[in-house]
Amino acid sequence: MSVPRMSISEDEEALAGAVAEALASVLAAPGSHHLVLTGGGVGTRVLGELADRGAAIDWDRVHVWWGDERFLAAGDPERNETGARAALLDVVPIPSDHVHAMPADTGQGVEAASAAYADELAAHSDDGFVPGFDVLLLGMGPEGHIASLFPGMPQIHAAQSTVPVHDSPKPPPTRISLSLAAIRSAREVWVVAAGDAKAEAAAAALRESTSPDEVPAAGARGRDGTIFWLDRAAARDA
């Protein structure tokens, strides 16, 4: 696994622009690309900035996935997919079958939905696990959660690519999340965080001695690269 490094921007607006600029560079490179999206305020802001740079990208060569999702009905405003579509996916010419949303709640149950997404990931992979993610974006909570993996959750140690979550401390409680094993398979993992409330968790996550059980973001590492994209407030203690 890679050693994490920081990229610090002055404020949240500058941070979103810097991440989007770097993402656009990755996606404009030759070949096909698999990108994992995150939700949240700054994550969605990054997608809006990426849409502004979308003309440089051949979207026919891009597949989009999610790191986690609230298990709610399609179109619910709390779903990460809903925000991502408004900010980016309904703005750029990406083929509809390249947008791999996590299943919405249609009454099938979160276990079945999680298993279905694992099957879709495997179907687009070379090894039966997950596709070759170029960049996997993650937000981070004040307590250090990433995707929907919160401190102390047994799902942190899951071997499968996706996990159902029934008891998220942050509502809504029922969710689907990539496992830490799937996250760590990505070529690069980018953790994006802004604000004073994230400073303590960011500092802990950057320390190699911190356990992912205590701070899940400490386990967020890419195979070839790991970047903690922070504004000055979030980088205060790092």
Assign 197 a pLDDT band (cuts: 50, 70, 90). very high
The total number of structural domains in the chain stands at 1
Q: Is the pLDDT of residue 1 over 90?
A: no
Residue 236 included in any domain: no
Strand partners, 69: 176
pTM as predicted = 0.97
Mean pLDDT score, 117-140: 98
The half-sphere exposure of 55 on its side-chain side, counting CA atoms within 13 A, is 1
Q: Which domain holds residue 136?
A: 5-231
How many angstroms separate the Cα of 11 from the Cα of each of 230, 233, 235?
8, 8, 11
Mean pLDDT score, 186-207: 98
Tens of pLDDT along 8-66? 999 999 999 999 999 999 999 999 999 999 999 999 999 999 999 999 999 999 999 99
Residue 70: enclosing H or E segment and its boundaries? strand 68-70
Phi-psi group of 144: left, alpha or beta (phi > 0 → left; psi -120 to 50 → alpha; rest → beta): left
User: Where residue 158 sits, what CATH number does that domain have?
Assistant: 3.40.50.1360
- Per the listing, tokens 């809006």 go with 48
Mean pLDDT score, 111-130: 98
Residue 32 included in any domain: yes
Give the model's pLDDT for residue 152: 97
Assign 181 a pLDDT band (cuts: 50, 70, 90). very high
Please report, in angstroms and rounded to a whole number, the separation of the first and last CA atoms in the chain: 20
Assign 238 a pLDDT band (cuts: 50, 70, 90). confident
Residue 148 included in any domain: yes
Give the model's pLDDT for residue 60: 98
Residue 237 included in any domain: no
Q: Which two tokens stand for residue 133?
A: 């993610």
Tens of pLDDT along 133-143? 999 999 999 99
Contacts within 8 Å (CB) and 24+ apart, 22-31: 22/190, 23/50, 23/135, 23/137, 24/50, 24/53, 24/54, 24/56, 24/57, 26/134, 26/135, 27/57, 27/62, 27/134, 28/56, 28/57, 28/58, 31/61
- Angle, helices 12-28 vs 40-52, to 10°: value is 50
CA-closest candidate to residue 177, choices 102, 81, 83: 102
How many angstroms separate the Cα of 89 from the Cα of each of 92, 97, 158, 169, 202?
6, 12, 30, 29, 29
Give the model's pLDDT for residue 24: 98
Mean pLDDT score, 185-190: 98
Residue 238 included in any domain: no
Give the model's pLDDT for residue 49: 98
Q: How far apart are CA 53 and CA 220, in angstroms?
A: 27
- Please provide the average confidence, as pLDDT, over all residues in the chain: 97
Mean pLDDT score, 68-85: 98
Per DSSP, the three-state class of 18 is: helix
The widest CA-to-CA distance across the chain, in whole angstroms, is: 45
Mean pLDDT score, 109-130: 98
Residue 137 included in any domain: yes
